[in-house]
Amino acid sequence: MHTIRFAISKRPLSITKTGQTLKAFQPLNRLSYSSACHTTQDPVEILHSPEQETKPTKSNPKKRLVFDSRSPSFEEFLAKGPKTPIDPALVRPDNIPYLNVNGLDWGRGRKFYIEVYGCQMNVNDTEILNAIMTNAGYERTTEMSEAEVVFLVTCAIRENAETRIWERLKYLRHYRTKINVDKPPLVGVLGCMAERLKTKMLEQDKLVDIVCGPDGYRSIPHLISLAENEYHNGVANVMLSADETYADVMPMRLDKDNVSGWVSIMRGCNNMCSFCIVPFTRGNERSRPIDSIIDEVRYLSDQGVKEVTVLGQNVNSYRDTSESTYYMSEAPLGTELSNPGFKTIYKRKDGGRRFTELLDKISLVNPEMRVRFTSPHPKDFPTDLLHLIASRPNLCKSIHMPIQSGSNTVLERMRRGYKREAYLDLVDEMRRIIPNVWISSDFITGFCGETDEEHRDTVTLMEQVKYDTAFMFAYSMREKTHAHRRYVDDVPEPVKAQRLNEIVTTFHRVAGVKNQKLIGTKQLVLIDTERLKTKRGIETRLSGRTDGGHKVFILESPSLAPFSKGDYVAVEITSATSGSFTGKFLSPSSIQQFSTA
């Protein structure tokens, strides 16, 4: 078996085969490329003609095809090439064997099945994949037994997330070789884990047929064809793009009955925090044009969506430099960092529309549609943004502020770009400008070299800020990261577990006390679930979320009969825990009505 590798970046195309450079424009095993200046924004134009297929034999072994960004560049290739001039009269282009198929002919009604793991960004990526596959003639099924292609959209942020995928892949191998032998589906691993572990996945027999990173989803119909017809030992496209945002792909929602929707506004991250794998699996930051974002938000509003969450790895660092048909910046808005205590590891660029201006335009699409955003970085909360959130009733007063640690020395090792004091100053400013703000955060315990004193700093910060929601994890070392290169994962697992238990206990204790003070208050709830539920002898049918994102179970009563998913209702809180509320129905309501009551 041999591997054919294509490296495509913003520079011209370079090609290597088993470590040796091929001559420019030389046909490669009946594969051609569409251009010597092909960039990763475009779909991969590597096409296969079925009538040219050759079955694997000893002389023609199984092959593997990999598209990545790590092979020698075109400039390096040219530098090693012949120095003698080329006679133009002897040069002719390749006869490129394009597949004689278009649009819906790719899939011909065959079915695909998707499982999604990880963050909301992966859910949005899955909706992009759903649109790409549907436009290529495939049909989505919710039954794996009907599928001819099975996709796992994966997460690589922590080891536990990857372990779940490996176990699932082992089951799928069993499913294909022991259960569904007559019609075994192709298996594709997509997303961050695909980019990180492509080689390991392809080398395990009958485990994976297709590996595709977050920037390669346009190429998936092509990859399916290649995996089916010629590259029986797997095909991978894990190229990172400098400009792919899928701005021209309208996502197809997985659950059309869901009252919430997601809109990706930017991809990648430039922060390079020492613990984080995201810049290596999703690349550098690039922002979608504002026009395409507003069009998508309008589309979701027209479909009846009542809450939209704006997504990005560093969502509030959005910076759009495209030409807009509708939105012209009169003056820079929200261009500064949160306060002088914050800095970046990279040089910030001037110009462009910033997140504050984008959020302003989104909030005006439909005043009765809630708008949230995640995941932000604390450095990108200029005062203009806070005043905008305070002034618009449909901009949720729920702000995620991931600090990761309460210790200045740990924050420095994490390369977060701020100290505890600057973060607390920002919290104070938020609560001054947005008095009813709900603040959530992320915490990593047991980071490299963390001492008992550094851990105690995190506990005291949690007690001081009194978070409304928290996402807490034990540190998991990721290859390629700055921490992997520079530090040692030296905190024993039992100590990590003990510290994690302490911060979890601290959060629930503090949040429980804080939420008890909300008993008797009125909250606007967007109903998002209809399901009979009995807990501690209390029966509820409808539940939803507050402006702060907390779950509220609404006590059943005859007055609730006319209401269902998608309705706003005013609720009086009657009981509370650290993570949810129970309340009684007061009246129908709306965002504008509730804000002026």
Q: What is the DSSP string of 165-230?
A: HHHHHHHHHHIIIIIS-SSPPEEEEEEHHHHHSHHHHHHSTTT-SEEE-TT-GGGHHHHHHHHHHT
Asked whether residue 7 is domain-assigned, the answer is no
Comparing 86 with 114, the larger pLDDT belongs to 114
Q: Indicate the pLDDT class of residue 49, thresholds 50, 70 and 90.
A: very low
Q: Which tokens hold the place of 365?
A: 């699409």
Which one is predicted more confidently, 536 or 23?
536
Q: What is the CATH number of the domain that holds 117?
A: 3.40.50.12160
Residue 291 lies in a domain: yes
Query: Is there a single domain that holds both residue 426 and residue 366?
Result: yes
226 and 191 both lie in a single domain: yes
Mean of pLDDT over the chain: 85
Most confident segment among 102-106, 141-145, 230-234, 238-242: 141-145
Amino acid at 412: E
Contact 168, 115 (CB under 8 A): yes
* DSSP-assigned states of every residue in 29-77: TTB--S-TT--TTSPP-----GGG-----SSS--EEEEEES-SPPHHHH
- Clarify whether residues 318 and 423 are in a common domain: yes
Give the tens place of pLDDT for each residue, 402-413. 999 999 999 999
Burial per residue of 142-161, b for 16 or more beta-carbon CB atoms within 10 angstroms, e otherwise: eeeeebbbbbbbbbbbbeeb
Residue 554: give its domain's CATH number.
2.40.50
pLDDT exceeding 90 applies to what percent of the chain?
64
335 and 451 together in one domain: yes
Whether residue 374 is contained in a domain is answered as: yes
Q: What is the mean pLDDT of residues 208-214?
A: 93
- Is residue 392, in this structure, part of any structural domain at all? yes
Distance CA 334, CA 355 (A): 7
Is 444 found in the same domain as 369? yes
pLDDT at residue 108 in the model:
85
Residue 96, pLDDT above cutoff 90: no
Q: Indicate the DSSP class of residue 404.
A: B
- Do 433 and 349 lie in a common domain? yes
CA triple 222-227-66, angle to 5 deg: 80
- Rounded average pLDDT over 191-212: 82
90, pLDDT greater than 90: no
Note the pLDDT tens digit of each residue in 259-309: 999 999 999 999 999 999 999 989 999 999 999 999 999 999 999 999 999
Specify whether the CB–CB gap between 355 and 334 falls below 8 A.
yes
pLDDT of residue 591: 98
Task: Report how far apart, in Å, the C-alpha atoms of 293 and of each of 100, 262, 596 are.
Answer: 34, 11, 29
What six digits make up the tokens of 395? 């901009």
At residue 78, the pLDDT reads 53
- pLDDT at residue number 17: 35
Q: Grade residue 345 by pLDDT with cuts at 50, 70 and 90.
A: confident
**Alpha-carbon 438 to chain mean position:** 23
- 214 or 90, greater pLDDT: 214
* Cβ atoms of residues 480 and 280 within 8 Å: yes
Q: Which CATH number do you get for residue 300?
A: 3.80.30.20
Burial class (CB in 10 A: 0-12, 13-18, 19+), 183: exposed
Q: What percent of the chain is modeled with pLDDT above 70?
A: 83
**What pLDDT is recorded for position 532?**
81
pLDDT for 529 equals: 92
Residues 177 and 213 in one domain: yes
**What domain range is 580 assigned to?**
521-596
In this prediction, residue 320 carries a pLDDT of 93
Please check the confidence at residue 4 and state whether its pLDDT lies above 60.
no
CB 523 within 8 A of CB 576: no
DSSP 8-state symbol, 18: T
| Whether the predicted pLDDT of 39 surpasses 50 | no
pLDDT of residue 380: 95
Q: How confident is the model at residue 75 (pLDDT cuts 50, 70, 90)?
A: low
pLDDT at 7: 45
Please give the Cα distance from 92 to 335 (Å, whole number).
Answer: 51
Residue at 127 is within a domain: yes
Residues 355 and 281 in one domain: yes
In the predicted structure, residue 351 carries a pLDDT above the cut 80: yes
Confidence of residue 82 (pLDDT cuts 50, 70, 90): low
- pLDDT tier for residue 27 given thresholds of 50, 70 and 90: very low
What pTM did the predictor assign? 0.83
pLDDT at 129 over 70: yes
Closest listed residue to residue 10, CA positions, set 75, 107, 66, 62: 75
**Which pLDDT score is estimated for 70?**
65
How many whole angstroms from its chain centre is CA 465?
Answer: 28
- Residue 248 belongs to some domain of the structure: no
Domain boundary among 237, 270, 294: 237
| Lowest pLDDT segment from 107-116, 464-473, 474-483, 527-536 | 527-536
Q: What is the pLDDT of residue 158?
A: 81
Stretch 155-165: mean pLDDT: 85
Q: Where are the alpha helices (DSSP H) in 407-492?
A: 408-414, 420-433, 452-465, 482-486
The pLDDT value recorded for residue 548 is 95
Weakest-pLDDT range from 160-169, 324-333, 493-502, 540-549: 324-333
Q: What is the distance of C-alpha 251 from the center of its chain?
A: 14
The band of 252, judged by pLDDT with boundaries at 50, 70 and 90, is very high
pLDDT at 37: 31
Separation of alpha carbons 242 and 69, rounded Å: 11
Q: How many domains does the chain have?
A: 3
| pLDDT band with cut points at 50, 70 and 90 for residue 102 | low
Check whether 253 has a pLDDT greater than 70: yes
Residue 266 phi, psi dihedral angles, 5° rounding? -160, 160
Are β-strands 260-264 and 307-311 bridged in parallel, bridged antiparallel, or unpaired? parallel
Of 237, 268, 287, the one marking the end of a domain is 237
Confidence check: pLDDT of 175 > 80: yes
Give the pLDDT of residue 205. Answer: 67
The reply to whether 216 and 289 lie within a common domain is no
Same domain, 167 and 224: yes
Q: What are the backbone angles phi and psi of residue 439, rounded to the nearest 5°?
A: -115, 130
Q: Report yes or no on 222 lying in a domain.
A: yes
Which tokens go with 319?
A: 């910076």
User: Are 320 and 422 found together in one domain?
Assistant: yes
Q: Domain for residue 380, yes or no?
A: yes
In the prediction, which pLDDT does 15 show? 33
Helix axes 493-516, 452-465, angle to 10 degrees: 10
Instruction: Give the residue from 497, 516, 535 where a domain finishes.
Output: 516
Please indicate, yes or no, whether residues 308 and 441 belong to a single structural domain of this protein: yes
What are the CA-CA distances from residue 532 to residues 385, 442, 542, 574 (Å)? Answer: 40, 32, 7, 19
Q: Match 């920037």 to its residue by tokens.
A: 215
